[in-house]
Structure 1
Amino acid sequence: MRLPTPLHVLNEGLALLLELAALAVLAWWGWASADPVALRLLLAVAAPAAAAVLWGLFAAPRARFPVPLPAVLTVKALVFGAATLALAGVDHPTWAIAFGAVAVVNTALATADRRAATHRNRT
Structure 2
Amino acid sequence: MTNPTPPAARAFFLVNEGLAFLLELLALGLLAWWGMTRDIGWAGSLALAVAAPLGAAVLWGMFAAPKARFRIPHAAQLGVKAVVFGAAALALLVLGHRLSFLWFTGAVVLNTASASYYRTRS
For normalisation by structure 2, the TM-score amounts to: 0.92
Matches within 5 A, 1:1-123: 4-117=9-122
Q: Distance in 2 between matches of 1:80 and 1:49?
A: 14
Q: Distance in 1 between matches of 2:11 and 2:73?
A: 27
Higher relative contact order (CA 8 A, sep 6+): 1
Shift of 1:33: 1.6
Shift of 1:34: 2.1
Q: Distance in 2 between matches of 1:91 and 1:61?
A: 32
Shift of 1:88: 0.8
For structure 2, which runs of at least 5 residues remain unmatched after alignment?
none
Q: Distance in 2 between matches of 1:12 and 1:56?
A: 16
Q: Deviations over 1:56-106 (max 9, x none)?
A: 000000000010001100000000000000011111111011101100110
Q: Tell me the secondary structure at the aligned position of residue 29 of structure 2.
A: helix
Q: Distance in 1 between matches of 2:103 and 2:39?
A: 25
Q: Percent identity?
A: 51
Shift of 1:35: 3.8
Query: Over aligned residues, Cα RMSD in angstroms?
Result: 1.2
For structure 1, which runs of at least 5 residues remain unmatched after alignment?
118-123
Moved beyond 6 Å, runs of 4+: none
Q: Tell me the secondary structure at the aligned position of residue 110 of structure 2.
A: helix
